[in-house]
Structure formats: structure tokens, C-alpha cells
Amino acid sequence: MLKKYCLVVCLILLCACSDPVEVDYSGPVAGWPVYGGEPGGSRFSPLTQITRDNVHALEQAWVYRTGDYPGARPEVEKTSFQATPILDNNTLYFCSGLSRAFAVDAASGEERWVFDSAPDLTGVWNRTCRGVALWKDQQASGPCSRRIFMGTLDGKMVALDADNGKRCEEFGGARGKAGEIDIYHGIGPVYPGEMYMTSPPTVINDIVLHGSLVMDNQRIDSPGGVIRAYDVRTGELRWAFDPVPPGAPTPQQLGARLEQRYHRGTPNAWSIFSTDPERNLIFIPFGGAGPDFIGGHRNRHGFDLDYYANSVVALNALTGEVAWHFQVVHHDLWDYDVASQPILIDIEKDGEVIPALAQATKMGHLFLLNRETGEPIYPVEERPVPQTHIPGEYTSPTQPFPTFPKPLHAAGLTPDDAWGFTFYDRNACRKRIEAVPDTSLFAPPDLEGFLQFPGVAGGSNWGSLAYDAKRRLLVLPQNHVVALNQLILKEGLPEMDTDETRFLGMSPNRGTPYYVKHEIMLSPFGTPCIKPPWGTLMAISLDSGEKVWEIPFGTTRDMVPGLSAIPFGLNLGLPHGGGPITTETGVVFIAASLDNYIRAYNIENGEELWRARLPAGGQATPMTYRLDNNGKQYVVIAAGGHGAMRTKLGDSLIAFTLPD
């Protein structure tokens, strides 16, 4: 009798403590067909099953492990798992940082196929693949009528049959294996690991196009950032956009070999593109012309290599011709690439609905442009900035500053901003800041050191932003990290290769008079020299242009080197690598921070609604989907860490859903 009584009491207590959730199956069904959720990259889902009232009940539905991380493959060093899957035909498609493509069942996580491109990893330091692209033939069915496109770490773009993961042999093959094209063709000499794709290809109107990462700070004649579009069926080159000013001489007129088709040293586009199929436009975020911190050579051929650098460039998808371009930094000397995906939205102003583009930047600037013309929707001011005194260098006299919204990140800092746990480390940080000649935004590179705040990671980076059109809110994370760099005159010093300079925390910058030394400004205790938060999440109203909320984003629970002096688990806000998504019900999902969590927030006030532990760092952007009217909404995140950010490495793709 006593046992029965105890059992009844336990059941009563269990029921009292539980929070039953009723799953609503009446809402819409939606997928995630491209990296940013839809061609314009809004990262918004119309799904309504997971709400602000029930999100706390999310639980793990399944986990899939790729096997691509050092613990499982001892021959592999640092990796990153930054992929955002895409969904088609109840299958998720994604890639790992070792250039392998995967297809798994979206309801169960069961593996359907794996493709290994077996890339040559020589010289590759950033082992990353953020996603794949899908094309579906509207005219035929059968083998390769649905194709997955993926970039590889050794400079290829492969086309795979979405049904079985086998190569589509009719694609490319003229200069390599069937089923792939060689992105090095026409580029000229490429060092091992110097150029490859990290972001997904882009598909529009039966063409597939790509940008590429080109290793920073290596040489003035680095591989160029040409954008090329290929026929999705055959791999035949449709057009190429070589980012040099109109009327620039050809490579051959400058003395290049006949096989080099494109200019060297031009800006590259390594991040994610957006498309407007209705207007037949492609929007490309370009980085700076290299090397990043030295630019006196950029007009040595009689034309300006900065012409399209640090710009959003709109191209005609049929021809590759420039429709417009807008430059967010003039003559970049700070590695302020346009790293975030351009987001296509509609803006209401003076009773008119304007097709717009929102471009976040590393400087904490957010530009709102008319996506048909590239003209700013609100005034952008050209303001005077400090000028260089370095021989052979030059600086732009002004830089563009948006007025709506106002800059989202502090512009530079002063010695009074120094911070520490004690007088000792605070004073040490103050002395470090005082030793820098100029600590303002756009302070030019200097032999005595130059400080960047925001640093090279931003502000905003490739994680980009998400947009909720219903509430007219933009949601984005911001890094708040101080970078300290210094020009070092090479004269009288031995010539060093890439490995030697990397060991010393420097970059080689071949063809220039300077090495550049790079570091994060830290205290003697190894903590950042400025007051936390060092990472925030915020929402911006497009009605007022103001921050609706901003919160510290990320705790110190999962220690990383450099933060070891901070007590366990404090919500100080940490740097991030990844981005947010939003849903119709006003829920923001994001992992990204340096701790091993995925979180959900209330988009209207920034309240944290849910968090779940991940087995490794979640430096990726999540996605969400619901497969059918009888199904549940899933939220999926890659939890594999980021080698360069020194978070815990792993190989897990994890899905969460509401309980039965």
C-alpha cells in the first residue's frame, strides 16, 4: 500500500512540475530552399508551430554526425563546421569543412548519401564550407534533374545528383574531372591553399555562379576576384565579371601570359550572394583589394583596383553587366570587407514602398539602398577622416557614414575606455591604448601601431542579419573586439615566408615595403582591454531607425584561450561566428557565440526564451522547416565548432522540435 501511495505522489508531482505543450498542426508548411532561407537572404520563416509560449519545450529530435573533425580523423587538424543546410524533397543537404557533401532525411536524420571530393588540403588553413546550392530542372526529370553544387578547398565546384550524390558527368570536365569545373582556370599562378570557395554557390535562371576566398595579406599580385557564371547543365562559361574599372587594359596589355584571362590583385567576394529573380539581379558583397592594410600600389597600372572594392555590386544575371555599385569604404586599409550577405527587403518611406537592400558592415554601419538603383534611401554623409603620413601610401579624404539607422557600433575608443578586473590590468590596458597615435575609426596604418575598433571581425561578419517584415525589425549580432596592428618596415630584415610570419603573428605582404603585425588587444590577464559586452545581439526598427533592444550575447561557461581569467558562466557577451533567423511567431534563433548553446529570443524585447546545450561550438546559422500538414516544425543547427575561434570542435548536425 505504501508503495502505491508513493507512486501516486510521484506521478502527481511529475504532472505538477511538467509543462505540457499542445502542438498546433493547423499552421503553414515551409522549407529552407537556399542558404539565407529565400533568394533575398532575409532568414525569415513563415512557420507558426513554435511560438514564444512553447519554445521553452523544444527538445532534441535527432542528431547526425559527419565524422569530419580531428577526434574522429586524427590526420585532420583544425576544422570548422559552419554549414546551414538547405531542404528539398524532405532531404537536408549540407557540407562539412573537409569538402564533403551530405544528404540526410529531414524527419529522422538518417543518412541518404555522402560525397567526398577528397580535396588536396596542402596550405589550406580555413577549412570551411558554409553551404551548398540546389538547382531543379523545370523541363526534364531523371538523373541529375536536381543538382547540388558545392565548392571545394582545392579550387573546384562540383555538381552532384541530388538523389544519390553521384557526379553529374555532363557538367564541366573540360579541364578536370567530369562533374566539376576548375575555378583556377584563367586566374594565373595560385599558391597551395591561396584561393578556394567557402560560401555556397548561387543559382539563378539556370546559371550557377561563385565567388572565392583569397588568402589575406599575402601579395600584391594575388589571384583576382573574378565572378563567373556557368550553365547549370553543361558547366559552359556564360559570363565573367572581372572587378576592374570600365576601360581598364586587359591582362595581356599589362604583360600577362595568354592563359591568364583575368586581372590579379582585384577584390574578391568570399561571402554569400543574394538574388532578385523578378528583376534578374545578383547582389555581390566584395571585400577589399589586397593586401588588406597596405594600398599604395593599387593604382600602379593606371587604374584603381579599389573601384569595386568594399562594395555591394548589382549584376545583370543574363549578361554579368553592372547595374550599379555602392562602396561602403573608400580605399580600405583595415580589412573591412563587406562580409555580410546583402538582405533584400521592402521599406516604406513617405507613403511609398521602396524595393530595398540592407547591407550590414564590419564598421557597425547599416546602409539602406534602393535595390533597383543603388541610391541610398536615407542620407549618407561623407565625413573627413584621418590621413596617412606613411611614404608611398594614400588615404581617402572622407568615408561614408549612414544617418539612418545611425552607426550600431562605437567608432574607435579612448584611454578612458580601458577596462580590467583590477587597477593593475586596467592601467596596463590604458597604457596600451595611450601608446597608439590615433584610436579613432579609420585611423590609418602606422609604424607605431594602429588600433581598430571595430576590429577585422566586426561589427557584423558573415553571419549577417535577419529581417521580420511583419514587425519591421532587423536582428543582428555585433562583435566588440579591439584589434591592434602595426606596420613593420622590411628593410634590413630577412625575407620571411607565410609560415614564418604566421608563427610571429604577422603577414608577409609580398611586393610591399612592410610586414604587418596582428593581435587582439588583451590585458596581462588575457582578457579584452575594454568593458564587456564583447558581443551583443540587437534589433533595429526600420520605422524609427533606433535600437529596440540590445543585450549581451554569450556566456563564459565554455572557456576559450584568452578568456581563462573570467569566472565560470558569466553572461558578459562574447564574440560570435554565425547569424540569426526569425519566424512569424516572433522567435529569434541563434547559436554563433563562443559558448556551446543555441538560444531563442523574443524579437520584441530580447528576452531569452530557451537555450539548449550543444556538444560543440555552434558557429553557424540555424534553419527551420516543416515538411507536411501532419508534421512538426524543426530547428536545425551545425555544432562542430570553429578552429580559428578555438571553440570546441565536433561534427554534429542537431535537430530540435516540440515533444509529442
Torsion of CA 611, 612, 618, 620, to 10 degrees: -60
Quick check: helix, strand or coil at residue 542? coil
Quick check: helix, strand or coil at residue 358? strand
Q: 267, 305 in Cβ contact below 8 A?
A: yes
Provide the β-strand partners of residue 97. Answer: none
Q: Which residues contact 373 (CB under 8 A, 6 or more apart)?
A: 324
For 324, phi and psi rounded to 5 degrees? -170, 165
d(CA 73, CA 65): 13
Name the DSSP letter for residue 417: G
Q: 330, 365 in Cβ contact below 8 A?
A: no
Identity of the residue numbered 171 = F
d(CA 478, CA 488): 30
State how far the alpha carbon of 528 is from the alpha carbons of 332, 335, 480, in Å: 25, 20, 10
Identity of the residue numbered 583 = T
d(CA 182, CA 171): 11
CA 206 from centre of chain: 25
d(CA 361, CA 611): 28
Q: 220, 241 in Cβ contact below 8 A?
A: no
List strand residue ranges (DSSP E) for 3-97, in order. Answer: 44-45, 59-65, 86-88, 91-95
Q: 315, 227 in Cβ contact below 8 A?
A: yes
Nearest to 282 by CA among 223, 200, 344: 344
Q: Which residues contact 478 (CB under 8 A, 6 or more apart)?
A: 364, 408, 409, 454, 458, 459, 460, 535, 536, 537, 538
Nearest to 57 by CA among 631, 610, 627, 636: 610
Concatenated DSSP letters of 140-191: --STTSEEEEEE-TTSEEEEEETTT--B-TTSB-TTSSTTEEETTTTT----
Question: Three-state SS across 451-518?
Answer: EECCECCECCCCCCCEEECCCCEEEEEEECCCEEEEEEECCCCCCCCHHHHHHCCEECCECCCEEEEE
For 305, phi and psi rounded to 5 degrees? -70, -15
Helices within 331-402 (DSSP H only): none
Q: 56, 635 in Cβ contact below 8 A?
A: no
Quick check: helix, strand or coil at residue 609? strand
Which residues belong to the active site? 335
Q: Which residue has the cell 607605431?
A: 448
- Greatest Cα pair distance in the chain: 98
